[in-house]
Amino acid sequence: MIRLASWIVFSLAVTALIAWVISLPGTMTVAVGGFVAQPRLGAAVLLVVALVVVIIFVRSIIRRILSAPRAMGRRGRERRRERGIAALSEAVIALHAGEPGHARDLAREARQHLPTNAAAQWLEARAHLALGDMSAAREQYRALIGNDRTALAALSWTKRIARPSDVLTVGQ
């Protein structure tokens, strides 16, 4: 009820303002390309305000059209990131549920969507380890040890691999 009353009061105030502006005495001369017009001052003010509103509206439409490719690219990157995070979390669940093959596939998918995410690489190495694929696990752990951010986590799991010395020789 208060909103309705506020809206009515606001619209009455705007209408009174418009009526006052239109009733202003005087004229304005506008000459454009041989065409001369002499509208009343109030009408000229309203026309100028309407012209400004139209210019702002057209500018916003043009700006939205020009920024569409950037917005679409950003949305594509966000969607790719969301898919990678979903695959990563499903891989964690699959690994803990005892499905290492499915976890490895999901971790590979997560690495495709999130190439710089070390957690996906570490999860893939854990899945290889759970599957018993020691050579693939060693390669993954070597890559993890080579990264300063993941070296500690990778080294803590190397004791589960049959030959940790193979993993620790990064230079090969």
Which pTM does this prediction carry?
0.57
pLDDT value, residue 31: 87
Cα Rg for the chain, rounded, in angstroms?
Answer: 34
Cα→Cα distances 88→43, 85, 116, 153, Å: 64, 5, 13, 17
Q: Kindly report the number of other CB atoms within 10 A of residue 38's CB atom.
A: 10
pLDDT value, residue 150: 77
pLDDT value, residue 157: 65
Backbone angles phi, psi at 97, to 5 degrees: -85, 0
Write out the chain's pLDDT in tens, 172 residues. Answer: 899 999 999 999 999 988 888 888 888 888 888 899 888 888 888 888 899 999 999 999 999 999 999 999 999 999 999 999 999 999 999 988 989 899 989 999 998 998 888 888 888 888 888 888 888 888 888 888 887 877 877 777 665 554 545 444 444 4
Distance of CA 107 to the CA centre of its chain: 23
151's tokens: 């070296």
